[in-house]
Amino acid sequence: MIFETIESKGLAHFSYLVGSEGEAFVIDPRRDVQIYLDLAMEHGLKITHIFETHRNEDYVVGSMELSALTGATIHISGHEDLGYVYGEKISDGEVFQIGELSLKALHTPGHTLGHLCYALYEKDQEAPYLVFTGDTLFMGDLGRTDFYGEENLDKMTGLLYDSVVNKLLPLGDHVLLFPAHGAGSACGESMDDRPFSTLGYERLTNEHLQAASKEAFIESFARMRIKPRYFERMEELNVKGAPFIGDTASVPAIKADDLKDDQVLLDVRSKEAFMGGHIEGSYFLSPANLSTFLGTLFDEKTRFVLVTDEPDPAFLLEIRSQMLRIGFDCLDGYLEGGVNSLLEAEKSPLSLPTIRGEALRELAGEFLVLDIRDNEPVPDWLEAKTVRIPLQMLYKRYAELDPERDIYVLCASGNRSTTAASFLLNHGYRPAVILGGIHTI
Amino acid sequence: MIFETIESKGLAHFSYLVGSEGEAFVIDPRRDVQIYLDLAMEHGLKITHIFETHRNEDYVVGSMELSALTGATIHISGHEDLGYVYGEKISDGEVFQIGELSLKALHTPGHTLGHLCYALYEKDQEAPYLVFTGDTLFMGDLGRTDFYGEENLDKMTGLLYDSVVNKLLPLGDHVLLFPAHGAGSACGESMDDRPFSTLGYERLTNEHLQAASKEAFIESFARMRIKPRYFERMEELNVKGAPFIGDTASVPAIKADDLKDDQVLLDVRSKEAFMGGHIEGSYFLSPANLSTFLGTLFDEKTRFVLVTDEPDPAFLLEIRSQMLRIGFDCLDGYLEGGVNSLLEAEKSPLSLPTIRGEALRELAGEFLVLDIRDNEPVPDWLEAKTVRIPLQMLYKRYAELDPERDIYVLCASGNRSTTAASFLLNHGYRPAVILGGIHTI
Amino acid sequence: MIFETIESKGLAHFSYLVGSEGEAFVIDPRRDVQIYLDLAMEHGLKITHIFETHRNEDYVVGSMELSALTGATIHISGHEDLGYVYGEKISDGEVFQIGELSLKALHTPGHTLGHLCYALYEKDQEAPYLVFTGDTLFMGDLGRTDFYGEENLDKMTGLLYDSVVNKLLPLGDHVLLFPAHGAGSACGESMDDRPFSTLGYERLTNEHLQAASKEAFIESFARMRIKPRYFERMEELNVKGAPFIGDTASVPAIKADDLKDDQVLLDVRSKEAFMGGHIEGSYFLSPANLSTFLGTLFDEKTRFVLVTDEPDPAFLLEIRSQMLRIGFDCLDGYLEGGVNSLLEAEKSPLSLPTIRGEALRELAGEFLVLDIRDNEPVPDWLEAKTVRIPLQMLYKRYAELDPERDIYVLCASGNRSTTAASFLLNHGYRPAVILGGIHTI
Amino acid sequence: MIFETIESKGLAHFSYLVGSEGEAFVIDPRRDVQIYLDLAMEHGLKITHIFETHRNEDYVVGSMELSALTGATIHISGHEDLGYVYGEKISDGEVFQIGELSLKALHTPGHTLGHLCYALYEKDQEAPYLVFTGDTLFMGDLGRTDFYGEENLDKMTGLLYDSVVNKLLPLGDHVLLFPAHGAGSACGESMDDRPFSTLGYERLTNEHLQAASKEAFIESFARMRIKPRYFERMEELNVKGAPFIGDTASVPAIKADDLKDDQVLLDVRSKEAFMGGHIEGSYFLSPANLSTFLGTLFDEKTRFVLVTDEPDPAFLLEIRSQMLRIGFDCLDGYLEGGVNSLLEAEKSPLSLPTIRGEALRELAGEFLVLDIRDNEPVPDWLEAKTVRIPLQMLYKRYAELDPERDIYVLCASGNRSTTAASFLLNHGYRPAVILGGIHTI
């Protein structure tokens, strides 16, 4: 058996390619599909089937493009009518043969109504070998249940409980577990960073599975969460099908003189480099979470030009892929000469003010701390001076801030607060970043 | 200055990417253009100009596809009207600025009527730095002059003499020389395998430039040569533009059971492996000269399936590229399991008979030696038994052979004779290969 | 948690690097240790601990060299006194902290007396997460128990039963399992080709764990097996420590003229290529099982020169590594020009006779079939004509064969029989290979 | 002919590997010699000869290590007695055969007394093909002539004139030229950034070759230049032989807690990142010129730990190589967590003050500009406030600066001034960097 996990960094998304006897299937392919073609070639396989666990909301699925390139059939859930224009609808209990392997669909509603998990069986074995759990059961976490609105929250959460506790876990403690996301994804909150897991290990250690009853579970788990701005567009693209991207890829150099007014400079260097010197009007985004926040702060029609240190091709193409995966097909190139390219036009880089935590403690005056984390507490002494706007909501709510006040932006490590500070700089504020984040306060 | 030579193996074709101050031009791009995008990214360049030296006859040019991907302008010769549907026509003496470099077009007829060379100048220098010579002046050789028919042979050869001796050489001994082909190309016969050359070094050492006069040159150089079957289609594609290929590339596994009747098995292993065991009905082609002979033995609409040892992806994609470069867009995949894939269907591989040269000498009977080399002599004692059909012509002339006679196929090393033997096997003959070729006779 | 499986092809050996919080440990490192340094760098780790499961007999362990390069401590079993000159002895139940992980040693005799497994625990968890099982429990198989001789066979087999059934399985069905070998290893006979497994999945599906009782298990499992010739040298090297190899690696070209009398030509092309043409005196070995059979047919002091097709550096270095891993530090280079390099010296390649299975059936006369497989049956009609000598034993027993008889060599697919045929050719016999092996008879 | 140019970044050093008929020679190998072994394998060559042009002063030569690994003979100049402990001494006019090529030694004193150039001839050709010019003739420049002291300056400069004008140029305009250094090297001042050159092109365009006479040349070229601190040690190592480095390479993670007092933190991020936040006590060095300035600011016995952004292995190993090439065998690892690794110890990063050029113009007060460029002018209005100490001399002369004054450090682009500022910070000064260097003043 060939088994390959394909991780899409930035989204913490996992897709899978599994092969046997020259044939292969793919679970939840991402939009840049060359990786599946490459792996199929490496292992001498022909991709014959594509399976989706559910209509994804956090990335653009690549089923149609991969199918067009390989002739593979696409299989989607028949348990919920979402207006799909592609794919064959399949139901609970259906079984597919790929080489010597059998794959059985399991209807597991909760995250979505139609959600399917897939259990894999080896030849002639009754015991299931592994299960692809999509956004149902993660390592150390479960899929969110708030996509159908507050009015359906308890119902969906109850469905999830049944799916996990009464349908997945009974497959057996020994069954290996392969979810659609890992630590860092916006689809869960407290995923563990483990390379593998089993149903039994989750049963024993997953905090949410320790609830005494279904009611207790709903009580503790049902909760509305932040939904990033771009999720709705993903939901739409993923039933209609996204434009094909092909793979003739380039991120060309753009000279400073050729920059256009409608191009946004996206600075993807380190936060320290942005602090030390950045181009006026540019935005900072860390490559580590670019997919998540780009789709939150910008519209997908925005045209972007990157600001980098050395323009390493692999890095530029990775950024391009991260953008394509969330439907941002709008990277024009990178700025030749980087942050110093405007020197000849007499525009030196600007620095971004910072403050160390201990200095903040001693600071007098009417300053304001903007906490752009999702939900975490600040020390008591800061409470009164703190305004909370999660970074995901900043594009909507920044006007709540008083532009006359000194604003110190706070997050865990400084990455997100540098993004927020660059956003505020470009919207008329004078922010400073709290160096090292909450650790130093 | 950035200077990159891109060699297309199998065709011994050179294209060039040259950059300065963030801009770049490409000379004679090949059809699989991702390499130019990759190099431009690596060096931080934007490709702004594409120059063709002449309408090529031995490969599909990639100007239109590269232009579509980069926005670069295409420049072709205005000195001959070939019906081009793309490109801006330029004339002798026109100069282009790319970054700090200047490129000057030089009309140099001979190989074709419209042929252009391009001389490159560094900033503020009067002395030319290097010259791109296309199919005019090679290392140790000159471009062939027989494409306009026997009736124009002397005229074209005279034009070539003037272009080289009276136009290129006067640029100066110090000028570096970058031709469109190197040793192994079908566009010349005796090219030297040198990494670089200069006009002066060619003046001193190139055999053809030692002629005492123009007349002596015509006398010795003017000659009709073999024109591979696929050249005409190239000439057509290269003025109309070939279909775009993109670069989402895969060569999938194909199971023996799924082979179709109209698919030709192309065995690209070593000749020894083909001799030791091959599938009935398959053809042998060495990857080292695949582009040249595939376009000679087959029609471009033929569908192919490769037979390989281990299916290494890089190797499979390279074979695919070599086929695309001559307009063969018809590789369906490779045979899973290779030469032994039909064992379960009770079809063992066949071996191909061979004979050592010394054994041939002692052989009695009415055998026949088929010499498939272009032009070289055989030992006297073999003369009477030898039939000469160059491999390039075999598809047209094989019926001249007597199927009742034992046929021993001869070439220099055994590669071409194994190709010829596989062709004959599939056309009702019983050939054997002379091991080690002419060396052992 | 960082988890990397390092597979050594040719031996089907797995070693593991596991990291947490900047620290890492390695289980059973192989001799060419650069891969561990590379992985540690890639993940930002410092290797601090090395653990051996047992004194290995089938490859050279790299503990000492890895320790010298990283400063990591080496831990070996204290339950058996083998004369180790390195390492700290540890005992059942000892626990080590690496980052946030705990690793607990479990004494599991059976394969060897001192064998240790290692259970891994995540931070603050009582349930074990995974277990490294060394040569105790494989996927679908168990470790062999015959290394202490026939007189101890039942005792060792009983110990293995207790270790697996009473010590490993009780860790829980949910526990992931990472053994030292996979399908293809000489350390087991019927391993499954699965990417992962769990104790529960083995409990349910591993054939050997279905025995009704310890007695029944001993009855069915206890058996003496073939021990490759080189195992004894490995056992010696692995307590004394092997010479360090460093990693400045090269396999230089050697001209045919420079070959020396004491150099053995090792042909590592495909079996078909060897059949089609090979150099007199050369031996065929498939890269797929080179480690296993090289150590069987040759002495470790033999000097080798490879015969290949194109001399791809990655391939040459991989062959070199496979040799080093079994203590063969004696690869002088590869033959420039390959199988045709002796043509100028008037030595054409030789072909190796083959016969198809169906032809064998019709063959008259006093021929002999040499079955070099380990243990499998032949059809009844062949029984009387068949001599069985496993390839592993051929070096000792070939003289049993009658050099006057026609010998047809039989194996499963033809790889091993081509090796055997080349061996016999070099020892005065005239063998032919049965094409496609047992499948076509 | 195989021809490979090996560029060592950071030193702008070129070495060459040239092969023919399975044999190869190397000109001036660098210390990390794996690249030559790799190239030889890739092209199927055995390295048989190593040639040195002169006793190098700017890097550690790898002749002995390469010879030990390949058995190649080493050839050094017999025209100057420097106390070499290795190599065969050769003289003007000696010729060596490698495959079908001939290499002729040419005694060309000037840069050193014993300097050799090497002219390469193709088979049966009287005209030289190319010449390796070492540190004699560069593209657009000539080798410095001041290593034998001011008293010998004119004599050495005259020798250089004779070597170039009367010995090299007469080889012919057509001869290709391959020097030991390119643009950016400390061995010349005004090298052009050209990929190739010829003797004729240099004759026509090289500024120094336009001198009307030998006297005029001496007049304009003879000059004492800065000699980096580490050159003397190189000269010593290069006659005695440096310790072998092998190639089992790792740059391990080091935890902040494990840092030792004698380890110097070397920050190799961008200058903007250093400005935005750096660890107290760390030094900034740009990877682009690390070899040059590391050997100037530090002693070779200093132990270093790198501060980077993402610890990319290829980058870390490249830094390690750059250090080894100048005899700094003392890289202990890199700091895990980078610039923020000390946050938990409550040490936030520090920022480095900067000033824009236009702000400087308006600045009042008794400030001081430290110009650390080699030789270039400042605007008149700044003249009085400027102190000139080339960065190469700062380690010796920094005490000339007044620690009470505000110091603004100036260079061309900001890289060198950030290095200087970090040096001054660690020696009791409070410098600021002039952003964008001389461009904005």
Please, what is the average pLDDT of chain A? 91
CB neighbour list of residue B396: distance below 8 Å, 6 or more residues apart: none
- Residue B149: the pLDDT is 94
Closest to B58 measured CA to CA, from B155, B147, B150, B178: B147
- Lowest mean pLDDT of C128-132, C242-246, D263-267, name the range: C242-246
Written as one letter, the residue type at C343 is L
pLDDT (tens digit per residue) in C249-269: 789 999 998 999 999 999 999
| D45 near C CB under 8 A | yes
pLDDT (tens digit per residue) in B24-78: 999 999 999 999 999 999 999 999 999 999 998 888 899 999 999 999 999 999 9
Nearest-10 crossing angle of helices A313-324, B34-43: 110
Of A40, A46, A248, the CB nearest to B246: A248
Provide CATH 3.60.15.10 ranges for chain C: 2-240
pLDDT (tens digit per residue) in B277-299: 999 999 999 998 888 889 889 98
- Per the structure block, which two tokens stand in for B39? 């190099």
Question: Which chains touch C (3+ CB pairs under 8 A)?
Answer: A, B, D
Residues of C in contact with A129 (CB under 8 A): 194, 201
- Lowest mean pLDDT of A212-221, A229-238, B136-145, D385-394, name the range: A229-238
Question: Which chains touch B (3+ CB pairs under 8 A)?
Answer: A, C, D
- A106 alpha carbon, distance to own chain's centre: 25
Please, what is the average pLDDT of chain C? 91
State the smallest CA–CA distance between residue A143 and chain C in angstroms: 22
| D37 near C CB under 8 A | yes
| D356 near A CB under 8 A | yes
Is the dihedral angle over the CA atoms D89, D93, D97, D103 positive or is it negative? Answer: positive
Q: Is the model's pLDDT at C399 over the cut of 90?
A: yes
C190 pLDDT tier (thresholds 50, 70, 90): confident
The answer to whether C248 contacts D34, with C-beta atoms less than 8 Å apart, is yes
Determine the average pLDDT of the residues in A411-435.
92
- Residue D346: the pLDDT is 67
Q: Is the model's pLDDT at D32 over the cut of 70?
A: yes
Burial class (CB in 10 A: 0-12, 13-18, 19+), B71: exposed
H/E stretch holding A313 reads: helix A313-324
- A76 alpha carbon, distance to own chain's centre: 21
**Strand pairing category for D141-142 and D137-138:** antiparallel
Q: Mutate which of A174, A178, A194, A197 to disrupt the C interface (most C C-beta within 10 Å)?
A: A174
pLDDT (tens digit per residue) in A197-211: 999 999 999 999 999
Q: What is the CATH number of domain B253-344?
A: 3.40.250.10
Burial class (CB in 10 A: 0-12, 13-18, 19+), C260: exposed
The answer to whether D70 contacts C40, with C-beta atoms less than 8 Å apart, is no
Evaluate whether C275 touches B340 at the Cβ level (below 8 Å): no
Q: What is the DSSP string of C258-318?
A: G--TTEEEEE-S-HHHHHH-B-TT-EE--GGGHHHHHHHHS-TT-EEEEE-SS--HHHHHH
Provide CATH 3.40.250.10 ranges for chain B: 253-344, 354-440
State the smallest CA–CA distance between residue C239 and chain D in angstroms: 23
Q: Is the model's pLDDT at A346 over the cut of 70?
A: no
CB neighbour list of residue A316: distance below 8 Å, 6 or more residues apart: A251, A306, A308, A334, B41
Q: Is the model's pLDDT at A28 over the cut of 70?
A: yes
Evaluate whether B419 touches B286 at the Cβ level (below 8 Å): yes
Q: Mutate which of B271, B315, B343 to disrupt the C interface (most C C-beta within 10 Å)?
A: B343
| Cα–Cα distance list, A169 to A54, B79, C371, D34 (Å) | 20, 77, 50, 54
Share of chain A above pLDDT 90, in %: 68
Partnered with residue B92 across adjacent β-strands are none
| C69 near D CB under 8 A | yes
Question: Which chains touch A (3+ CB pairs under 8 A)?
Answer: B, C, D
Q: φ, ψ for residue A167 (rounded to 5)? A: -120, -45
Is the dihedral angle over the CA atoms A310, A315, A321, A322 positive or is it negative? Answer: negative
Please, what is the average pLDDT of chain D? 91
Q: Is the model's pLDDT at A247 over the cut of 70?
A: no
Residue in D closest to A433 by C-alpha: D276
Residues of D in contact with A309 (CB under 8 A): 270
Determine the average pLDDT of the residues in B372-389.
88
| Cα–Cα distance list, B124 to A209, A341, B128 (Å) | 76, 25, 11
Report which of residues B119 and B10 the model is more confident about. Answer: B119
Q: Edge-to-edge, what's the strand order for the sheet holding C431-435?
A: C354-356, C431-435, C407-410, C368-371, C386-388
Of D3, D174, D205, the CB nearest to B204: D174
- Lowest mean pLDDT of A7-16, C67-76, D170-179, name the range: A7-16
- Residue B94: the pLDDT is 98
Nearest-10 crossing angle of helices C153-161, C214-221: 130
Task: Quickly list H helices, B25-88.
Answer: 34-43, 63-70
Residue in C closest to B433 by C-alpha: C276
- Per the structure block, which two tokens stand in for D298? 């530090």
- Residue A12: the pLDDT is 86
- Residue B247: the pLDDT is 64
Report which of residues C336 and B292 the model is more confident about. Answer: C336
Residues of D in contact with A269 (CB under 8 A): 270, 272-273
State the smallest CA–CA distance between residue C155 and chain A in angstroms: 30
Overall CATH class of domain B2-240 = alpha beta
Evaluate whether A240 touches A307 at the Cβ level (below 8 Å): no
Share of chain C above pLDDT 90, in %: 68
Q: Reduced to 3 states, what is the DSSP secondary structure of residue A143?
A: coil
Closest to B201 measured CA to CA, from A167, D121, A37: D121
User: Computed over its alpha carbons, how large is the radius of gyration of chain D?
Assistant: 23
D248 pLDDT tier (thresholds 50, 70, 90): low
- Residue C388: the pLDDT is 94
- Residue C201: the pLDDT is 98
Determine the average pLDDT of the residues in C78-95.
92
Q: What is the CATH number of domain B354-440?
A: 3.40.250.10
Report which of residues B125 and D249 the model is more confident about. Answer: B125
Q: CB neighbours (10 Å) of residue B409?
A: 29
Cα gap B371→B389, rounded to integer Å? 6
Determine the average pLDDT of the residues in C311-338.
92
B348 pLDDT tier (thresholds 50, 70, 90): confident
| C351 near B CB under 8 A | yes
The answer to whether B348 contacts C339, with C-beta atoms less than 8 Å apart, is no
- Lowest mean pLDDT of B321-330, C341-350, D297-306, name the range: C341-350
H/E stretch holding A51 reads: strand A46-51
| B421 near C CB under 8 A | no
- Residue A296: the pLDDT is 87
Residues of A in contact with C174 (CB under 8 A): 173-174, 198-201, 203-204
Return the beta strands (E) in D52-126 as ranges. 73-77, 88-90, 95-98, 101-107, 116-121
Q: Is the model's pLDDT at B187 over the cut of 70?
A: no
pLDDT (tens digit per residue) in D184-235: 776 666 788 899 999 999 999 999 999 999 999 999 999 998 888 888 888 8
Cα gap D155→D148, rounded to integer Å? 10
- Lowest mean pLDDT of A219-233, A353-367, C127-141, name the range: A353-367
Evaluate whether D36 touches D18 at the Cβ level (below 8 Å): no
Rounded to two decimals, the pTM is 0.90
Instruction: Please state whether B395 falls in left (phi above 0), alpha (psi between -120 and 50) or beta.
Output: alpha
Q: Reduced to 3 states, what is the DSSP secondary structure of residue D334?
A: strand
Q: Edge-to-edge, what's the strand order for the sheet holding A431-435?
A: A354-356, A431-435, A407-410, A368-371, A386-388
Cα gap D420→D432, rounded to integer Å? 10
pLDDT (tens digit per residue) in C359-388: 888 887 788 999 999 878 888 888 889 999
State the smallest CA–CA distance between residue D192 and chain A in angstroms: 20
Of D276, D344, D414, the CB nearest to A273: D276
B346 pLDDT tier (thresholds 50, 70, 90): low
Q: Is the model's pLDDT at B4 over the cut of 70?
A: yes
CB neighbour list of residue D9: distance below 8 Å, 6 or more residues apart: D288, D318, D322
Q: Mutate which of C16, C122, C201 to disrupt the A interface (most A C-beta within 10 Å)?
A: C201
CB neighbour list of residue C356: distance below 8 Å, 6 or more residues apart: B348, C434, C435, C436, C440
H/E stretch holding B423 reads: helix B415-425
| Cα–Cα distance list, D19 to B194, B195, D1, D87 (Å) | 11, 11, 6, 21
